[in-house]
Amino acid sequence: MGKDLFLDTYIRKLPDPLIVKENTQIGVFVHQVIAEWFKNRVSLFPVSLDDVYHKVLKTKQGSAYFHNFFNEETKNYLDNFAEMFKSLDGEVFASEKQYSLKMDDDLTLTGKPDFLMKNGPTLLIVDVKTGGRPPHEKYGMDHWAQLKYFAWLLSSHFEAQEMVGAYLLLKGNKISEVKITKKDMAETEKYFRAKAGEISEFIEKNKILMA
């Protein structure tokens, strides 16, 4: 499964793939630019975020959505990201990498944080949002639900004395951070174990769309 199970199951609700909203397309584009920029940061010839923006933009030429990406709003998002990124403490060691956690023989949970940073004993989990708030709030979920999910999933891959989650809210140029406790992760695990059967059924019904 190549997508983020948390997003696909509880946020995106797997809409008809032919119905693509402008906001979603811009969000995907912004994430693509940021991911490509991270790849180039560790090269011998690092490039600027603006250079990557124009490079990725060229791949969209001829697309029906091209005009959506080449606008002031998209540039503002990326400028805001660059400004907020400078204020984060730590070193990036993973970007757009998928992690998994096997629940049982029938269900493996997956998640793909936008990037991870290490600052001494602290693991910082960062998720970039082009909206003014996490989208899962629309479904009545906890503001921090996605970051808690990532922290719980990552706890089986990394040993960290402290887990901190951060949303970079590009629309409002704001960083929203929370310390994620062992209690938060235990409650998240309890929730997903209780929902395991329901999630497995959901995946089986939608496995073509989620592939």
Q: How far apart are CA 130 and CA 128, in angstroms?
A: 7
Give the tens place of pLDDT for each residue, 50-86: 899 888 888 876 565 666 666 788 889 999 999 999 9
- The count of domains in the chain is 1
Give the tens place of pLDDT for each residue, 116-175: 999 999 999 999 988 766 665 655 567 788 899 999 999 999 988 899 999 999 988 999
Nearest residue to 84 (alpha-carbon basis) of 173, 147, 164: 173
For residue 144, how many other CB atoms are within 10 A of its CB? Answer: 20
CATH of the domain at 47: 3.90.320
Range of the domain at 67: 5-210
